[in-house]
Every structure is written in structure tokens, then in C-alpha cells.
Amino acid sequence: MSQLNPITIDTPQTADNDPRIGQLLGANINNDDTPKVVVIGFPSDKGVAINGGRTGAADAPEAIREQLYKLTPNPENYNDFVDLLGATRDVGDLNIHYEVEEDQQNLGKVLAGYVEQDIIPIILGGGHETAFGHFSGYAEAGLETAIFNLDAHADVRPLKEGKAHSGSPFRQAIEHKSECAGMYLVAGLQPHSVARSHLQYIQKSGGEYLLRDETNITSISGFFHQHENDRLMVTFDMDAVDQSQAPGVSAPCANGLPSDLWLIAAYLAGRNEQVTSFDLSEVNPRHDRDNQTAKLAALTIWNFLLGLSQR
């Protein structure tokens, strides 16, 4: 059985001089061509359930795509943006078995082939257990990578009764036998949602963190260039955004980051040539309001792609 399930998302029919992203994706590549970017869905929130969060993030890849495919390419960087979209292939969703470790391992096997070829994967989660599956691609390929996480939570919790979950991905990566995890950098942490022991664990492992009030464009940009690895895996957890602007998440945040800072960070990640992969997690359409969070998630991917097109 194939590891990937193809997806079909309706794209608006528009005039030839008003194309949408859904019409442009993959337009310049044939089936045998090598893409520059791939989009992969990870439609599982089993790890959120294990961690005691509210479920619904399994529906996120479809909801994000529905909003992303409607967007237009950037009119001020049009040709470069369209060229990148034409070399981007949406390969579908991972075939989920609802066993967290198995699904993470399978995602890693799919991603390994891309990171080995310097193809940039964009992974649409899913709960934040997505991030360890994301890291597993590097481990499977034997490639060391630093990790940047924009998140309200550190997500370095121990396993629960031996089971991985949405709060454990970066402890799993740091302690992985492959030793492929370089420096762990996390920004946006809420001081009322992070245990002291978790911050101590990050420091002991050689990582660094920024609390929410320390997180700004300057500090995020500094983090992007602070590590010594050739590669940087980037993961954005939507629960870092203030719940007034992102209500549809697994763990809403009453004092989260503003959406403009979030979007600029996504753009900076795309511009940074050391960034070799990106995931977006914890969008929860079941609790969204007028698709507000899904639209912000789609715009996050749009900004990352814009940055990529300007490398």
C-alpha cells in the first residue's frame, strides 16, 4: 500500500490573468521531474488525544489546503513566486494508521528521500506529534539538523506510559539514537504554560529558549542564524498565536503572539537558506470560527513560499 493518499481540493475557476495557487502548483513539472518543494499532509491528532488536548487537528491538512489554493501569487514578486509554485508538488496525505510512533516513522521514511535530495518539504499537521515525524526524516537520512520551534509550549515532556504524544516531540528528537538533533531553539513560550524543569532540560541539552515577551522579529531572526548546523528544521505550532486571531487550535492561547509577527517569522524562515523543511501544526478546524485559523495557516504557508521564492 502506498504511504501517500492523493488529495483533491477544488480550486476556484478564475480568469487567465487572475490565477490562484491551486491552479499553479506543479504546473512546470511532469510526473518524472524533480520538484523544488513538496507539500505533505499528516492528518492525525492521536498524539493530542494522548496528551489530553482537544482533538480535531486531523482535519487540518484539508482545511488549510482549501484556503491556500484560493490565494493569489504575490503580485510584486510575481514571476519568481509563480516559478516556485510551478516547481512545487502537493504529494497528498500520509496514510495514517493512528499509532503515533508508526505514523511518525512512516512520515520520516517519506521525508528522508526529499531531504536527501535538497527538496524542501512543507508538512501540514496534524497535532504537534507531526514534528517528530518531521525530524525522523533527517534521522532516516542520517542528516544532522538544528530545530527551531515557534510555540507556546516547549514540547519536551516525557512519554506517557511509553507512548509518544503531541507534547513530547522535541525530547524524542533530542534523545534519539541517531544523534541527528542539533541545537533546539524554541521561541514564543508562555511562562504560565511551561514547567521550570522543561526549561532546564532545554538548557542542559544545549538548546535555548525565548519567552513570549522576549519573542520579536529581531530575536527570531537571531535564532535563525544562531545554530552551527548546515540545516534548520522549522516547526510552527499555531497555538503560539493569540486566540483572538487563531481560535481554532488544540490549546488556545489567551496572551499569544500577534499574527503579523507570526507571518513575518514564516517569511523569514522561507528566506533563510539554512531552512530545509517546514511544518505547521495544531490547527483545529473543529473549533475554528469562520475558517479564521485555517485562513491564517494558509497565509503562513503563503509567506513561507514567498520567502523561498526570494532566496
pLDDT of residue 12: 84
- How far apart are the C-alpha atoms of 211 and 224, rounded to whole Å? 16
- 146-196 pLDDT per residue, tens: 999 999 999 999 999 899 999 999 999 999 999 999 999 999 999 999 999
Cα four-point dihedral sign 34, 37, 39, 40: positive
Provide the 10 A C-beta neighbour count for residue 246: 28
Do the beta carbons of residue 54 and residue 287 sit within 8 Å?
Answer: yes
Q: Which three cell numbers stand for residue 239?
A: 497555538
Is the per-residue pLDDT at 226 higher than 90? no
CATH code for position 204: 3.40.800.10
User: Distance between CA 33 and CA 250 in Å, rounded?
Assistant: 37
Q: Give me the domain span that covers residue 58.
A: 4-309
Domain count, the chain: 1
DSSP lists the bridge partners of residue 106 as none
60, 103, 117, 121 from 38: Cα distances, Å: 17, 19, 12, 5
pTM of the complete model beyond 0.85: yes
